[in-house]
């Protein structure tokens, strides 16, 4: 089994690929969830929020970094599955991003 970091980056790349394909299939009128403004603001806020909470919990000894990393991987797997399902339905072909 690959180490956690390799799995994390592999899943993150799959999510990135799913977003890229979704961007190509959604309207380009600024209203889609994949418009640059929505993506940038969402990324910034999510990074700050998640990083702050994780740092606080790790610093207080509530969770370990390894537990945090394993949870991130579980959530990434769900995100990849969501994009695979959406893209498969949209294209009529089975899509696998990983």
Residue extents of the structural domains in the chain: 4-25+32-90
In tens, the pLDDT along 56-88 reads 999 999 999 999 999 999 999 999 999 999 999
The pLDDT of residue 26 is: 82
- Say if residues 96 and 85 touch (Cβ distance below 8 Å): no
Pairwise CA distance, residues 6 & 28, whole Å: 33
Pairwise CA distance, residues 52 & 89, whole Å: 36
More confident residue, 83 or 43: 83
More confident residue, 52 or 31: 52
């Amino acid at each position: 089994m690959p180490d956690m970091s390799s799995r994390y980056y592999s899943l993150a790349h799959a999510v990135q690929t799913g977003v890229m394909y979704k961007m190509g299939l959604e309207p380009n009128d600024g209203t889609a969830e994949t418009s640059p403004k929505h993506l940038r603001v969402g990324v910034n806020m999510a990074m700050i929020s998640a990083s702050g909470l994780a740092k606080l919990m790790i610093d207080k000894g509530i969770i370990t970094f390894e537990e945090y990393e394993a949870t991130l991987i579980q959530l990434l797997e769900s995100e990849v599955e969501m994009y695979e399902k959406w893209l498969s339905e949209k294209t009529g072909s089975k899509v696998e991003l990983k």
